[in-house]
Structure 1
Amino acid sequence: MSTTDIIILISAVFLLLPPLLTSSSAPTAYELLQQYNFPGGILPKGITGYEIDESSGKFRAYLKGTCSFSLEGSYQLSYKSIISGHISKNRLTDLKGVSVKILFFWLDIVEVIRDGDNLDFSVGIASASFPLDNFFVSPQCGCGLVCHDELENPSLPLSSM
């Protein structure tokens, strides 16, 4: 190998090295929510990807399939495989793909607003407010926050049954 070949090879390595070293990976959907002042737990575990137009706030988040679970024994939630809407600081609007069962009816959650230490969920005709700390952990499809693996992991405290 000539000196010129070695210089070209070293130059090529240095030109290719910066892209390999820089970590320009996009934040997860849960981290993106935090950038807009929302806890990641308003989305269930299993988001496979998302798209966002940062200029308009329009977004889409993707699950492998539909997802449903119960929270606090009284609220049933359902997520479609595509969740969409608009996001801005402290506001999720024009939501599509998230529903809550109230009595015998499924109603679409159309808006979520962060108001201090609370999240206000609106179904259009009514809204309910919940403490922010209820949403620090993402629920799991099928079992919510009380999943079977808790019973198999002795380091986790058991809920009283």
Structure 2
Amino acid sequence: MTRFMAPMTTLCVWLVYMATWVTPFSAADKLTAYQVLQEYDFPVGILPKGALSYELDASTGKFSADLNGSCSFSLEGSYQLKYKSTIKGYISKDRLRDLSGVSVKVLFFWVNIIEVVRRGDQLQFSVGIASANFPISNFAECPQCGCGMDCLTLSLDEAHQVRSWRPFVSSN
């Protein structure tokens, strides 16, 4: 019986060692939502700052990303974007499809962005009946809720107004 116990003890010690080594490594090694975008060849700037978590089914591409509340901002003074607190869709290399939770203001109406396709150095955003192309370099940095890319150029008074008005502004 003692001849059988030595290999069992060694096996138990090895299993405990592996369990303590593998669990912290895999938990600490989880990618951020922004890193996942990059893995699928998208720039980080298509998602605003403050993504708290995400879920991804790698076999289907189904994903969801959670922000710290809903979010709204203008880009280049002309495009107004609105993100819900949860964004969902399907991701594959160079393509986001069946999106929900992201909309753009066109004239006086909010329309959902339903697809984003990367074509070389361009991103094509589709609202179904129309699409628009933008240089991928425009999305190298993440916009910030409330002020987009102009956060550093706001005056103190403007920054206070952005923080005071919260219908679509995250607390970040």
TM-score grouping bracket, smaller chain normalisation: 0.7 to 0.9
What is aligned with 2:22?
19
Give 1 or 2: higher helix fraction: 2
What is aligned with 1:54?
58
Q: CA–CA distance in 2 between the matches of 1:108 and 1:21?
A: 40
Q: CA–CA distance in 2 between the matches of 1:110 and 1:15?
A: 44
2:83 to 79, 85, 91: 79
Which letter does structure 1 place at the counterpart of 2:21? P
Please report the TM-score for the alignment, with normalisation by the length of structure 2: 0.76
Which letter does structure 1 place at the counterpart of 2:37? L
**Among the aligned pairs, what percent are the same residue?**
58
CA deviations on 1:80-120 (whole Å, 9 max, x unpaired) are 00100000000000000000001111010000000000000
Q: CA–CA distance in 1 between the matches of 2:123 and 2:81?
A: 16
Unaligned runs of 5+ in 2: 1-8, 157-172
Q: CA–CA distance in 2 between the matches of 1:123 and 1:49?
A: 25
Change (3 A) 1:137 1:150: farther
Unaligned runs of 5+ in 1: 1-6, 153-161
Aligned-pair CA distance for 1:18: 2.1
2:35 is the counterpart of 1:43: no
Aligned-pair CA distance for 1:147: 0.4
Mean Cα deviation higher: 134-143 or 18-27: 18-27
Say what the alpha-carbon RMSD is for the aligned residues.
2.4
Aligned-pair CA distance for 1:67: 0.2
Please report the TM-score for the alignment, with normalisation by the length of structure 1: 0.81
1:31 to 20, 25, 35: 35
